[in-house]
Amino acid sequence: MTSLLSIRNVTAGYGYGPDIVHDFSLSLNESEVKCIIGPNGAGKSTLLKAVAGILKPRSGDIFFEGKNLSGKEAYQIMRLGICFLPQERAIFPNLTVAENLRMCAYSIKDKALAASRIKAAIGMFPVLGQRLKQIAGTMSGGQQQQLVYARAFTIKPKIILIDEPSLGLAPSLVEQTFSHIKQIASSGIAVLLVEQNAIKGLQTSGYGVVMDLGKLVFEKPANEVLQDQSLRDLYLGKALKK
């Protein structure tokens, strides 16, 4: 069976600099959630950027639904169904909630379809429906987070790549954000997550992937990683010693 996403022996880096991601392979099936954990600077964000087409791999290939993504631009990759939520998951703070949702749906040519997607996104995050005319930047942090995920949902991707969703959030919003991610995953969208908060990330995922120095260290079912004390001590360090 071909995977939905197949990253094969990808090496990537910036400009004339050194390789940051080394010969990295990983696959993701439909509706699967995998969480990549690893120390700062391991190359996790770089890997997601390579999948999203923001950074061209130096070697290796990335296949999506059996199609090779090499040479495709980021916007083409998004249209194929891969949505990237970068670390700085910006919304447009000066636009209204409705405008934010419409901006995302612009990539859909069929207007009736775009409208129905927006409606479905609002159905998923009802508070946004009550605030369609509000300037997005004036909503609470929690509401802005909902808008981030509603926007992603609007383009109805097959995969969402999410970089550090909990970074910089208040503890109450961290819980809320992971429940949004679960909600998105249970709608059938596959998720490739990068997360510093290893416990929360693994609890949200089917598989845990450890990355260090640009390489894959291991991949295992997330509950195995959470339950195995030696794995915790060896690979997850302080993050899991609570």
Ligand X SMILES: Nc1ncnc2c1ncn2[C@@H]1O[C@H](COP(=O)(O)OP(=O)(O)O)[C@@H](O)[C@H]1O
- Contact present, 178 and 145 (Cβ < 8 Å): no
> Nearer Cβ to ligand X, position 170 or 213?
213
Q: At a CB cut-off of 8 Å and minimum separation 6, what does 5 contact?
A: 27, 28, 51, 62, 63, 64, 82, 159, 190, 192
The reply to whether 45 sits near ligand X by the rule CB under 6 A is yes
> Nearer Cβ to ligand X, position 42 or 155?
42
* Block residue for tokens 């429906």: 129
* Block residue for tokens 């194929």: 80
Residue 46 site contact among Mg ion, ligand X, none (CB < 5 to 8 Å, cut-off depends on kind): ligand X
* Least gap, CB of 145 to ligand X (angstroms): 20
Q: At a CB cut-off of 8 Å and minimum separation 6, what does 192 contact?
A: 5, 28, 34, 36, 48, 51, 159, 160, 161, 162
Both tokens of 85, joined, read: 């939520």
* Least gap, CB of 195 to Mg ion (angstroms): 10
**Angle, to 10 degrees, between the axis of helix 111-124 and the axis of helix 97-105?**
130
Residue 17 site contact among Mg ion, ligand X, none (CB < 5 to 8 Å, cut-off depends on kind): ligand X
The reply to whether 40 sits near ligand X by the rule CB under 6 A is yes
The reply to whether 168 sits near ligand X by the rule CB under 6 A is no
Q: Which amino acid is at 116?
A: S
Q: How far apart are CA 241 and CA 237, in angstroms?
A: 7
The reply to whether 166 sits near ligand X by the rule CB under 6 A is no
Both tokens of 71, joined, read: 């040479």
> Nearer Cβ to ligand X, position 40 or 230?
40
> Nearer Cβ to ligand X, position 128 or 236?
236
- Contact present, 151 and 120 (Cβ < 8 Å): no
Q: Binding residue for ligand X (CB under 6 A) from 2, 41, 58, 233? A: 41
HSE-CB of 54 using CA atoms within 13 angstroms: 12
The reply to whether 14 sits near ligand X by the rule CB under 6 A is yes
The reply to whether 89 sits near ligand X by the rule CB under 6 A is no
Contact segment (CB under 6 A) with ligand X among 33-41, 92-100, 136-144, 229-237 equals 33-41
Q: Binding residue for ligand X (CB under 6 A) from 7, 32, 43, 144? A: 43
Q: x/- string (CB under 6 A) for ligand X, residues 122-141?
A: --------------------
The reply to whether 230 sits near ligand X by the rule CB under 6 A is no
Q: Which residues bind ligand X (CB under 6 A)?
A: 14, 17, 20, 38, 40-46
